[in-house]
Amino acid sequence: MTNKKTNNKYADYAEKLKIDCKNFSGLCCVSLYCAKTDGFPANKAAGTPCAYLDSDYGCNIHSKLSEKNYKGCIAYDCFGAGQRATKLCLSKGTWKTNPKQADMIFDTFMIVFQLHQMLWYLVEAFQLTTDNHLKLSIDKLIKENEQMSDLFPDNCPNTDLSEYRLKVNTVLKQISNEISTSASADKHSGMMYLGKNFKKANLDGKDFTMSLLIAANFTGCSLKKTNFLGADIRDANVQDTDLSESIFLTQMQINSANGNKNTKLPGYLNIPISWIS
C-alpha cells in the first residue's frame, strides 16, 4: 500500500501530525467543550478538567471509553496539536502548574489545532497534485503555517487565521477539481446522504467534500480517489471496504466510522482498536 503521507518531501509530517497523548498535557480533556450531542454522556464546560483525567494527564477510563459511552473521546484526534502546543508553551508551564496562563495555553492549543488540521490536508494535497504551480503554492502555505505556529504562545492573542484559511481552501478546491475531473465528472460535494445505501456502488473519483454521510453504507463500494474532504462519516458502514486509495480522510473521520478488521485504509491512518476487538 502506498503511504501517501510518507512518500513525499513532507514524509516526516506523518508522525508530526499524529496524536501523542504521552507528550500532551491533557489539553483536549480540559480545554474543549464536550457536548452530549457529540458523543459524550454529559456536557463538560470548556476549561474544566474531565473527571477522568488522572494526575499524569492520562485517562483513567481509557480502556472503557466505549463502555462508559465516551464515543466523542474515541473519535477525537488533535492532528498532533496537543504535543506541539504543550512544547510551545513549555516556558509558561502547563494549565495545571501555571493556572494564570491557562487561558493563553488553551488558546494556543485551539489555534495550533486549526493550523495542524490545515497542514494535514496540505501535505496530502502536495502529494496528489501533478501541477507544479500548485505544488509551489502548497509549499509556500506549509512554510507560512510553520512560521505562524513558531510564533506561539507570544503571538497568540493577535492570531487571525481567516485569511490563511481562505488561501488553503482555495488550493484544496483546486486540487479537488483536478482529481475529480481526472477521475470522474460526477460531484457530490456538500450534499446530504444521511443513511444512504451505496452498497457495492462504484464511487471512484466522486467528490463528497463537506457532505453529510452519517450512517451511509459504503460496504463493498469502489472508492478510488473518492474525496472525503471534511465529510461527516459518523457511523458510516465501511466494513469489508477498501478506502486505501480514497483521499483527504482524517483519523478523526475514521475513528467515528463503523469499520472492521477487513476495512483497508490509506497507510497513514490507523485501524481503530474498536474495529478489531
Contacts with ligand SF4, residue ranges (CB under 6 A)? 29, 50, 52-53, 59, 61, 70, 73
Provide the 3-class DSSP secondary structure of residue 184: coil
Of 141 and 254, CB closest to ligand SF4? 254
Closest distance to ligand SF4 from the beta carbon of 31 (Å) = 10
The cell for 49 is 478538567
Of 46 and 192, CB closest to ligand SF4? 46
Q: Are 267 and 4 in contact (CB under 8 A)?
A: yes
Of 50 and 89, CB closest to ligand SF4? 50
For residue 42, what is the DSSP state? S
Of 26 and 205, CB closest to ligand SF4? 26
Closest distance to ligand SF4 from the beta carbon of 59 (Å) = 3
Closest distance to ligand SF4 from the beta carbon of 29 (Å) = 3
Q: Are 26 and 34 in contact (CB under 8 A)?
A: no
195 Cβ contact list (under 8 Å, min separation 6): 214, 215, 216, 217
Q: Using omega within 30 degrees of 0 as the cis cutoff, is the peptide bond preceding 153 cis?
A: yes
Q: Which amino acid is at 139?
A: D
Closest distance to ligand SF4 from the beta carbon of 178 (Å) = 38
Provide the 3-class DSSP secondary structure of residue 82: helix
Q: How far apart are CA 43 and CA 64, in angstroms?
A: 19
Q: Which amino acid is at 51?
A: A
Q: How far apart are CA 250 and CA 228, in angstroms?
A: 9
Of 27 and 122, CB closest to ligand SF4? 27
Closest distance to ligand SF4 from the beta carbon of 26 (Å) = 7
Closest distance to ligand SF4 from the beta carbon of 72 (Å) = 7
